[in-house]
Structure 1
Amino acid sequence: MPEIFKPHPTETPRPIPSLPARAFTMSAARRNELATAFRAGGKHYDAVRPSYPAAALDFMVPPRARDAVDVGAGTGIFTAMLLGRGLRVRAVEPSTDMLTVLRTRLPEVIAAEGTGEHTGLEADSADVITYAQAWHWVDPKQASIEAARILRSGGLLSLVWNQLDVSVSWVHRLARIMHAGDVHRPDFQPPLGQEFFAPEPGQWTWNQELTGEQIIELAKSRSYYLRASAATRSRVESNLSWYLYDHLGHEEDTPITVPYLTHAWRARLR
């Protein structure tokens, strides 16, 4: 799916739904339960999820960084960007299925099963630790302690999320139909442990060209859909088809310009 990383015109900012605070305060048992949605389906996830703007990578990675750790690496979408910058990259991911895809596409990356709270990596071994679409899957206090243990002096903990740009009215409704939970308010700040200074934010807008069917496939990669019953999945697909084709009037094979917003934060180790 082609991605066009360039600014796009948006409407006047409007109140938008936020990733609930409970996403960062839920129990470990609840997080593990929700994360089971990603135990399978790695190939589908890798095929439909977008990459990230190069400007976000510039913001997240220190200029003199040599060693990077990508935690919650999934199938390696962001890992590949780190590798493309000439960094020595290690990837940590709890899903065996996701790791299988990552190891196939990036055999040069050292990839291990683990979590943000327990990476299994040695201390003082990284200049930057990244979380792409993954910080809400960890206990932020415990993951901060682990990140601080792994980082060298002055290292960065960098977090990034892609989200549909719901400041655009039709995209706002699309996100609701898709049950896109990873949507932040403009003033959102991810919780970190006391080991880090307050995070500095960055933000970029860009467009992705998708057909209606590709948008539906994107919805199928989200945890809400993956954990839903067959009846709920069918309803989501039907609602999306109605909205894209009947309500908005798009042709099935005609690309739709979908506005995206990328949020990133970088926090320096105290």
Structure 2
Amino acid sequence: MAEIPSLPQRAFVVGAQRREELASAFQSDAESYDKIRPSYPQEALDFTLQHRPATAVDIGCGSGIFTEQLVSAGLEVTAVDPSADMLSVLSKRLPHIEVACAAGEATGLAADSFDLVTYAQAWHWVDHPQASAEAARLLHDGGWLALLWNQLDVTVPWMHRLARIMHAGDVHRPELEPPLGPQFQKPEHGIWHWSMELDFDEIIELTKSRSYYRKSSDTTRAKVEANLAWYWHEHLGHEPDKKVQVPYLTHAWRSRRRPRR
């Protein structure tokens, strides 16, 4: 893998105040988020479900992108998110599943109830020791915790620069393990490369779905959009309506719950 020196040395770790500030960006405008964010590759879903769980709780589910994939795979799924707006979009997509408007650190769900806990694009939004303890509380002995991220593939040089202009904050070094509590075994890792076809308007919408843009001033937003327009049209030479294969990768970790004593 090419060395990308500007990626954070400590992936996933965000201070509590900053985490709360950025996460608040997703309390509204869930429909625009849902329209542009991609689902996860089948290989990542298979990795998550290798141990054939029957029940799952998808925490930080957002608008239900990964939740829907779990449901389609035949699981009985409960969805948890602190944003009522996100859950309203999820409930339109999946009207028959149980939802809870709650944080990952304190879901309010019954203990020892699930085979699988998933966090798709969400583990960096929680306090890791507290969220690990809560996940362990929810799981049966021998249950699994799975963490997944879709991210722009910044090992591709032009994509690296685009991600920096977008201020894509969920781009992590794939070799770094996410922090887990002592309730869980050393995680197993999987990574898959793929691409999503986007035009310039969709690049702008993808940028607008990110916490940095949502929490910025109008002046900063205008600057980001102008920089993207220059890079996409003048530097890369793409026409406005040209569809371009935008490289992505998905990386995931799964960890088994240690037995209760």
Question: Offset of 1:20 from its aligned partner?
Answer: 5.8
Rounded to whole Å, the distance in 2 between the matches of 1:205 and 1:218 is 19
1:186 alignment partner in structure 2: 174
Aligned to 2:201: 213
Q: How far apart are the structure 2 equivalents of 1:263 and 1:53?
A: 10
In the TM superposition, residue 23 of structure 1 has moved relative to its aligned partner by 4.7
Work out whether 1:168 is the aligned partner of 2:156.
yes
- 1:22 is displaced (CA, Å) by 7.7
Residue 231 of structure 2 is aligned with which of 243, 256, 263?
243
Q: Deviations over 1:222-264 (max 9, x none)?
A: 0000000000000001110111011101011110110001010
* Residue correspondences, number: 258
Q: How does 1:44-63 map to 2 (within 5 A)?
A: 44-63=32-51
- Unpaired runs of at least 5, structure 1: 1-11
Q: CA deviation at 1:120?
A: 0.8
Query: Do the aligned partners of residues 63 and 267 (structure 1) sit closer, same or farther apart at CA in structure 2, a change above 3 Å counting?
Result: closer
The counterpart of 2:121, out of the listed 133, 157, 181, is 133
| Mapping 1:54-93, distance limit 5 Å | 54-93=42-81
- 1:268 aligned onto 2:217: no
1:31 Cα deviation after fit: 2.1
Partner secondary structure for residue 213 of structure 2 = helix
- Between the two proteins, what is the percent identity of the paired residues? 57
Note the residue ranges of structure 2 that are not aligned, 5 or more in a row: none
For residue 21 of structure 1, give the secondary structure of its aligned residue in structure 2. coil
Tell me: higher relative CO, structure 1 or 2? Use CA pairs within 8 A at least 6 residues apart.
Answer: 1
Q: CA deviation at 1:185?
A: 1.4
CA RMSD of aligned residues (A): 1.3
| Structure 1 consecutive aligned stretches of length 4 or more whose deviation exceeds 4 Å | none
TM-score by length of 1: 0.93
TM norm structure 2: 0.96
| Cα 1:211/1:25, change in 2 over 3 Å | closer
Q: Which moved more, 1:258-267 or 1:53-62?
A: 53-62
